[in-house]
Amino acid sequence: MQQTRRPLVEALKRCAGKGLTAFHTPGHLQGKAAPPALRQWWGRPVFEADLTEVPGLDDLHAPSGAIRKAQDLAADLAGAGRTFFLVNGSTAGIHAMLLACAGPGDKVILPRTVHRAVVAALVLSGAEPVFLPVRRLDDFDIPLPPPEAVYRESLVRNPDARALFTVYPDYYGVAVDLAALAGVAHEHGLPLLADAAHGVLFGYRPEMPAGAVACGADAVVESVHKRAGALTQAAWLHVQGNRLDRERVGQALLLLTTTSPSYLLLASLDAARRQLALSGPRICRRQVELAGDARQALSRLPGVRVLSEVHGGYRIDPTRLVLNFNQAGISGPAAAGVMYRSGVAVEMADCRNVVVLLSSAHGARDVKRMVKAAEAAAAARGRRGTICPRFPEAPPRRLTPREAWLAAAESVPVVKAPGRVSVEMVAVTPPGFPVLLPGEEVTHEVVSYLHAVRAAGLTVHGVADPELKSLRVVR
């Protein structure tokens, strides 16, 4: 297919430039009725392009024109059988892929440290999670996505599983051997679902891990907005083979997606796909080079360690830098705070680490500035923050996430919560891994961890009481 084309961008341009007198949504009427301050700041073209399903613009829910052509080009680029555009991030794609292959009581094998979108998908579908043990990486305390041997073992005990789910790569850029995992899934006739929210640039250079579709995953969701040029929220879901019912994926998306999808987001996917097709290898090469320079400079800083390899068959995304400040004795949030005050905004900070993303638009000066900011963080005096305890063991599961979600609930003082079954999905952000899932028993370890991370300045999401004085549990 001709990857130089941009069918949806062109269609949108044509429609925006027609000069029709509009009597339809959106209410800002191509900017004429927009709040003047926004119109001045964003300019008219943004509003003119913010159109709805007018003739010539196709329909995301029954695509047969410009949207379908744009999706087919994205599928062609990835080597997928079908690609769906998403306007609610990878989140919606994760919901759809799980809804398409698992119903109430169906087992899905997955790591416990998944993004909370996966937990939401378990609530929506009623699927029964079979959580895999997760090994954590020494000082970084990063949970590693389980390798294929762990899935293989779990399949012996759970031969009735309906799907395998993995993250590729995780938020720290750690990537399992996805092709080996696909091999295990397919030996058992099961689909492999891959959350590649952070993996859209994979496969464009040999220094990067291979793309998830090329590795054989049956469904792959990628947040194009995270590492490529699409607008925030814009993502896509690739499907290949016939282990997953494509019609059901489409139906699930119909259930989940707004009937007013933003054409700005959709067109940005079309443009980002073209950019990846034409310049992906160059963009990646530049990022890899810059990241290499940054790694070298950072490795000379006392007290700072940079994640550069993970043994056991893993690869890492070389363009994502995980800086560990344990030896400097400063917590991740405190280090990120010093970096921010030095003019550098990072992707995220967990208790021990700071994550930095390189872009091809960065220059040597930007890298130098980031390294200097990291140096300042390692040497900072005063408020050095608390390095929190290690991530707690997964609590025992008493109900499926959906059963707990639907159960009658009550709030109890946090001291009385251990032993009760949580209805809340409690996650510490960043990085957002759930500490407590709906259906899991509250443990003392979880409670003291939550208090410690709150004291360390991280946000606890999912609790009705943000002060953490009470938790909601099954009545």
Residue closest to 216 by CA, chosen among 190, 173, 169, 183: 183
* Local structure of residue 228 (DSSP, 8 states): S
Q: Does 110 bind ligand PLP (CB under 6 A)?
A: no
Q: Measuring CA to CA, how many Å separate 429 from each of 121, 146, 267, 435, 472? A: 19, 22, 30, 10, 19
Taking the C-alpha atoms of residue 118 and residue 139, their distance in angstroms, rounded to an integer, is: 27
Q: Could you tell me the smallest distance in angstroms from the CB atom of residue 221 to ligand PLP?
A: 7
Of 148, 195, 350, 403, the one binding ligand PLP (CB under 6 A) is: 195
Considering only the stretches 1-9, 23-31, 83-91, 353-361, report the one whose residues sit in contact with ligand PLP under the rule CB under 6 A.
83-91
Q: Measuring CA to CA, how many Å separate 457 from each of 163, 350, 383, 384, 443? A: 37, 10, 12, 11, 22
Of 167, 244, 277, 349, the one binding ligand PLP (CB under 6 A) is: 167
- Give 44-108 as a DSSP string: HHHHHH---S-TTS--TTS--SHHHHHHHHHHHHHT-SEEEEESSHHHHHHHHHHHHH--TT-EE
Q: Does 117 bind ligand PLP (CB under 6 A)?
A: yes
Q: Could you tell me the smallest distance in angstroms from the CB atom of residue 69 to ligand PLP?
A: 23
Of 77, 102, 194, 235, the one binding ligand PLP (CB under 6 A) is: 235
Taking the C-alpha atoms of residue 194 and residue 166, their distance in angstroms, rounded to an integer, is: 5
Contacts of 35 (CB under 8 A, 6+ apart): none
Applying CB under 6 A, the site for ligand PLP has a residue count of 11
Taking the C-alpha atoms of residue 117 and residue 93, their distance in angstroms, rounded to an integer, is: 9
Of 102, 137, 197, 201, the one binding ligand PLP (CB under 6 A) is: 197
Q: Does 353 bind ligand PLP (CB under 6 A)?
A: no
Of 30, 71, 83, 91, the one binding ligand PLP (CB under 6 A) is: 91
Considering only the stretches 89-97, 155-163, 406-414, 436-444, report the one whose residues sit in contact with ligand PLP under the rule CB under 6 A.
89-97
- Cβ proximity to ligand PLP: between 75 and 228 the closer is 228
Q: Could you tell me the smallest distance in angstroms from the CB atom of residue 170 to ligand PLP?
A: 6
- Cβ proximity to ligand PLP: between 91 and 324 the closer is 91
Q: Do 457 and 349 contact (CB within 8 A), yes or no?
A: no
- Cβ proximity to ligand PLP: between 86 and 304 the closer is 86
- Cβ proximity to ligand PLP: between 110 and 328 the closer is 110
Taking the C-alpha atoms of residue 348 and residue 142, their distance in angstroms, rounded to an integer, is: 14
Assess whether the previous peptide bond of 209 is cis (omega < 30° from 0).
no
Q: Could you tell me the smallest distance in angstroms from the CB atom of residue 114 to ligand PLP?
A: 7
Q: Find how far residue 224's CA is from the centre of its chain.
A: 10
Nearest residue to the partner ligand PLP, using Cβ: 89
Q: Does 30 bind ligand PLP (CB under 6 A)?
A: no
Of 31, 89, 229, 337, the one binding ligand PLP (CB under 6 A) is: 89
Considering only the stretches 12-20, 86-94, 285-293, 312-320, report the one whose residues sit in contact with ligand PLP under the rule CB under 6 A.
86-94
Question: Residue 56: which region, alpha, beta or left (left: phi > 0; alpha: psi -120 to 50)?
Answer: left
Q: Measuring CA to CA, how many Å separate 413 from each of 232, 456, 468? A: 38, 22, 9
- Cβ proximity to ligand PLP: between 90 and 331 the closer is 90
Residue 25 has which token pair?
């949504």
Q: Could you tell me the smallest distance in angstroms from the CB atom of residue 144 to ligand PLP?
A: 14
Residues found near ligand PLP in the complex (CB under 6 A): 89-91, 115, 117, 167, 171, 195, 197, 223, 235
